[in-house]
Structure 1
Amino acid sequence: MKTIRSFVSSVLLTLATAACAQIPVSPVGTPQMHLPRATMQVGRQSFSVQLARTELEKETGLMYRTRMPANEGMLFLFDRPGIQCFWMRNTRLPLTAAFVADDGTIVNLEDMQPMTETNHCSARPVRYVLEMNQGWFAHHHVRAGMRIRHALFRPAAAARTPARTAHGA
């Protein structure tokens, strides 16, 4: 009984917070389809992604979907690089996760099976994770070491160079 109350309280708090912020929220158990989108490119292939930025958006991810268009995926954005691990709870689609560095370079790819809780982790700290239908990367000859192009990704030199601040005299 306590677990049900806690769950209901959590859902109500999420809905109330979203209503106050005027952010659309998908009801629990339904796919989130309202996220902002971006178009990216890797090699010669363009594709569209939904951007998962908030904790709730990242937590929900591609859960509850029964299909996803061939050239579409979801990009998860984190505040800072870290070892990112993903699983497939309540996710019905077979997916591949591309773990992506600040400059857009794919660090590693991991195939993930539907409805499992096996962790699939980045080989090193990354800020982004891109999920696409399983087989998409292989079909387009995309592999680790290739770079995804989009303004979101910073060039390698900029990512390594510390910010400089000007000091007045």
Structure 2
Amino acid sequence: MRFSLRPLIARCALAAALPLAAAAAFTLSTAATSTVAHAQQMPAGAKQPGEFPRVKLTAGMFVIDAAVAANDADREQGLMYRTTLAPNEGMLFVFGENAVHCFWMKNTLIPLSIAFMRADGTITDIDEMDAETTNNHCPRNNGVYALEMSKGFFSSKGIKPGMKIQGLPQP
């Protein structure tokens, strides 16, 4: 009796491929659900990104579109729950007192860079912050502003401590 192994091999390959395809579909579905879940975690009463006042800042030749967080509730929320930032978009934190203002990244889904500034806009410190961590990021110097941008923004633009940010609102 003669038989061919091709149908058997094809059936085995199909049988092996189906679980892999199902696993891949589950993984993609889970990733999409996870992304949606992150986007849906914004608590009731939290501001949507477009609801923050905005200001145009300049750092050398670079223009920055910054949302402004100038009160306790806005500073507490900051960039939490956001999943993206436009290339030159960030958030400016304005404080009423010249002090050391520390930050952390709890519920912040994207990695950020932060520049701490004095009242005259001079950058005193820059730090890199990983997403969803509770490490404290504190400047070594007192200041009244902090500007969060996508991670690596300041270094990629050559912006360093000692340089000034222009267009800051009054604290």
TM-score by length of 2: 0.71
Compute the displacement of 1:146 (Å).
0.4
Whole-angstrom distance in 1 between the partners of 2:104 and 2:122: 22
Q: Secondary structure at the match of 1:51?
A: strand
Aligned equivalent of 1:57: 74
* Letter paired with 1:35: F
Aligned equivalent of 1:103: 120
Detail structure 1 runs of 4+ shifted over 3 Å in the superposition: 28-33
Match of 2:138 among 105, 121, 133: 121
Identity of aligned residues (%): 36
Match of 1:135 among 121, 127, 152: 152
Q: How does 1:1-169 map to 2 (within 5 A)?
A: 27=44, 31-150=48-167, 152=169
Q: Secondary structure at the match of 2:114?
A: strand
Contact 2:104/2:135 (8 A) holds in 1: yes
Uncovered stretches (5+) of structure 1, i.e. residues with no partner: 1-25, 155-169
Contact 1:105/1:146 (8 A) holds in 2: yes
Q: Quick check: which has more Rg, 1 or 2?
A: 2
Compute the displacement of 1:135 (Å).
1.1
Aligned length: 130
| C-alpha RMSD of matched pairs (Å) | 2.0
Whole-angstrom distance in 2 between the partners of 1:118 and 1:151: 27
Compute the displacement of 1:33 (Å).
3.2
TM-score by length of 1: 0.72
